[in-house]
Amino acid sequence: PAAVTSGIKQIKEIMEVARYNKREHNIKTILFVDEIHRFNKAQQDAFLPFVEKGTIILMGATTENPSFEVISALLSRTKTFVLYKLSTEDIKILIRRALSDSERGLGKYNIKISKDTIDFIAGFSDGDARIAYNILELAVGAYSGEDRQKVIEIDTALIENIIQKKALLYDKNGEEHFNLISALHKSMRDSDPDAAVYWTVRMLESGEDPLYIIRRMVRFASEDIGLADPNALQVTISAKQSFEFIGPPEGYLAVIEAVIYLALAPKSNSLYTTYNKVKSDV
């Protein structure tokens, strides 16, 4: 199941089926949960007895750091595998494969595209093949049905136009919403202020609630910076107060200032880990 659409009731129903299969047929159930970080503590706790008894083999996928988003009791009973993003060269190979594949790709079209444009798409995709594929499909879709029978010329100018339009197609409750806030979190954690500013501005210009971004920043200041720079928390609170006092768009600068501060600040998750260790002993 997908964590974003599942609740305790569905988990219990699946667990009952798994319990029956184990008891009656000695068969373990392999349970794959997409976006497991979307489950809250109570939902994740529901898996524990079945994992401990070997009733299920739990597999969870997440774009977040499992140390922060998966409860420690569940994390200690599982093994973490890190899937690294594709390299730029990998993306280029996949783009060329998609352009030449007549059955599953775009090979049935007469597409003219330069090496520089392929490089541009690969660089923008940032290791995510889905982004590259979507851009290619949108580029072909920019031509009408009759024009697709002719030469389809995909250049960098067309790709830049597509990217700008795509950035504004933003559902505050959809997948892109979570993808962008995750990208901001990762940029700050990696101490990359340029990327952090980019993702922040992209969300703001797409209509994201600045207070939502600031709430995530407050959380980041406590969890990922903590005592390494105690001022980080105060900076984010000041950003909230400044934005509420000034309002948009001028107040956005206070948000950007705080984002840059958090990205450049030293990192430590000692507060977060200490809290979880003490909590497990209570």
pLDDT per position as a tens digit, 219-240:
999 999 999 999 999 999 999 9
Binned at pLDDT 50, 70 and 90, residue 165 comes out as low
- What tokens does 84 get? 């690294």
Q: Where are the alpha helices (DSSP H) in 26-155?
A: 41-45, 48-52, 66-69, 72-75, 88-100, 115-125, 129-141
φ and ψ at 142, to 5 degrees?
A: -70, -15
List, for residues 96-137, the tens digit of each pLDDT value: 999 999 999 999 999 999 999 999 999 888 888 988 998 999
Q: Is 152 helix (H, G, I), strand (E, B) or coil?
A: strand
Tell whether the model's pLDDT for residue 203 goes beyond 60. Answer: yes
In sequence order, the 6+-apart residues with CB closer than 8 A to the CB of 96 are 118
CA-based R_g, the chain, Å: 23
pLDDT value, residue 40:
83
What count of other Cβ atoms lies within 10 Å of the Cβ of residue 271? 15
Q: How far apart are CA 135 and CA 122, in angstroms?
A: 10
- What tokens does 279 get? 């909590």
Q: Which of 151-155, 190-194, 275-279 has the lowest mean pLDDT?
A: 275-279
pLDDT value, residue 281:
74
Please list, residue by residue across 164-179, b when 16 or more beta carbons sit within 10 angstroms of its beta carbon and e when fewer do.
eeeeeebeeeeebbbe
Q: How far apart are CA 259 and CA 253, in angstroms?
A: 10
The rounded mean pLDDT for the chain is 87
Binned at pLDDT 50, 70 and 90, residue 275 comes out as confident
Binned at pLDDT 50, 70 and 90, residue 32 comes out as very high
Domains of the chain: 8-75 (3.40.50.300), 88-168 (1.10.8.60), 175-271 (1.20.272.10)
Calculate mean pLDDT across residues 206-218: 88
Query: Which run of H or E residues covers position 182?
Result: helix 175-189
Binned at pLDDT 50, 70 and 90, residue 182 comes out as confident
Calculate mean pLDDT across residues 17-30: 93
List, for residues 6-19, the tens digit of each pLDDT value: 677 888 888 999 99
